Amino acid sequence: MGRWLLSVPVLLGLESLAAREIRRLGYNTEKVEDGRVSFYGGEAAVCRSNIWLRFAERVQIKLGDFSAASFSELFDGVKALPWAELLPEDAAFPVSGHCLGSKLGSVPDCQAIVKKAAVESMKRRWKVETFPETGAPYRIHFTIIRDRVAIYVDTSGDGLHKRGYREDSALTPIRETLAAALVELSGWRPGKALWDPFCGSGTIPIEAAMMAAGRAPGLVRGFAAESWGAPPGDGGYAPLGRVFAEERAKARAAYDASLGALAAANAAPAIAGSDLSAKYVAAARQNAANAGVSRLLRFFQMDCREMGAGHAKLKSCGVRFPGRGSVVTNPPYGERLGDRASAIATCREWAPALNGFKDWGWCVISALETFEREIGRAATKRRKLHNGKIKCNAYLYWS
């Protein structure tokens, strides 16, 4: 089967960013819905999207969907799907999923039924009674939402936010996909200045530097589908491992060319991050080295309360930005680190920085519903997002 319906789960609020990114890769989006974007593509699309998508959580092949209000309807619907067109005889196919607002509310029972139905379907193709499951992983995921079932096969393995560069996370880590989205939402573009004054382990500046360097986010990590052979049946399709190698070589060549151009320009780093903790600054530097973007950014130790001193303080830290830029940051907001009162106090302490950098754009993610009042300035625009399970807003300030 050379073309699949590929379904890309995303954090709520990032659907439009992911859809635009998929279109930039050359694919037409089929559907954009809450938490998912879908499009059609073959082997190259599976590999390219896993390697290049910055805002997606994973890439899944959607085998089908149907209505089911009983276990027998679930079994029949799963059994009717074209399992043998994708899974080989030795495939390992564990099942996971979730149910929401449906008559079928027991996830363990649904897992067992989905597994049994897939086995019964594959028996007809392979003419065997049992399957060893000693081969490559084809992880099955189901969703049952208001009695509507969707069945997916995962191609990514670990979530795509795991780029492979972060060794040490701050106490309030931000997922790499969300960090990249904040950079995109801020309106920042490569060549402009960017500063994160609460950088923690450096995720936001590193994601910006990777964008500036044209580095594919999945360049150095592995994916579940790399171990897949050619799809069963006719067609002579290439093994996914070979296609992944080809797409990764293209991404590596693009990255090397971009680094060469940046080196030739000999421009000073325009991306920086700072944090009160020397430990986190050290971790950020190591993560940047792991990501291959150390020369494109700087990390330094600074108390957020010193931001009010503006560019003079930055110069004393050895940072000189080329003109105006963007502050993109994830300050503490009383959900995971410290308490709410402390988070509010922190906001008020660094509010004067808005005056020190009033000609810059700002993008701040916060779960504090009183954020604008604490900072003393209404946002130009707000965007609802989720940081993990925490409901947040991205507050955008444009000069």
Query: What per-residue confidence (pLDDT) applies to 60?
Result: 98
Q: Is domain 4-160 classified as CATH 3.30.2130.30?
A: yes
* Tokens encoding 130: 């049992």
CB of 57 closer than 8 Å to CB of 37: no
User: How remote is the C-alpha of 388 from its chain's centroid?
Assistant: 11
CA–CA dist 313, 329 (Å, integer): 18
For residue 363, the one-letter residue type is: C
Query: What per-residue confidence (pLDDT) applies to 169?
Result: 55
CA–CA dist 188, 196 (Å, integer): 12
Query: What per-residue confidence (pLDDT) applies to 237?
Result: 64
Quick one: which of 324, 295, 317 has its CA closest to 205? 295
Domain boundaries, the chain: 4-160, 176-217+252-397
Q: Is domain 176-217+252-397 classified as CATH 3.40.50.1000?
A: no
Query: What per-residue confidence (pLDDT) applies to 1?
Result: 40
Q: What is the pLDDT along the chain (399 residues), one digit of tens a residue?
A: 458 999 999 999 999 999 999 999 999 999 999 999 999 999 999 999 999 999 999 999 999 999 999 999 999 999 999 998 899 999 999 999 999 999 999 999 999 999 999 999 999 888 899 999 999 999 999 999 999 999 999 999 999 999 999 986 555 579 999 999 999 999 999 888 999 999 999 999 999 999 999 999 999 999 999 999 877 765 556 788 999 999 999 999 999 998 888 877 777 678 999 999 999 999 999 999 999 999 999 999 988 878 766 667 677 777 777 778 999 999 876 555 457 788 888 888 888 777 778 788 999 999 888 999 988 889 999 999 998 888 999 999 987
Query: What per-residue confidence (pLDDT) applies to 168?
Result: 65
Query: What per-residue confidence (pLDDT) applies to 282?
Result: 94
CB of 130 closer than 8 Å to CB of 200: no
User: How remote is the C-alpha of 246 from its chain's centroid?
Assistant: 23
Long-range contacts of 13-16 (CB under 8 A, 24+ apart): 13/181, 13/383, 13/384, 13/385, 13/386, 13/394, 14/55, 14/177, 14/178, 14/181, 14/385
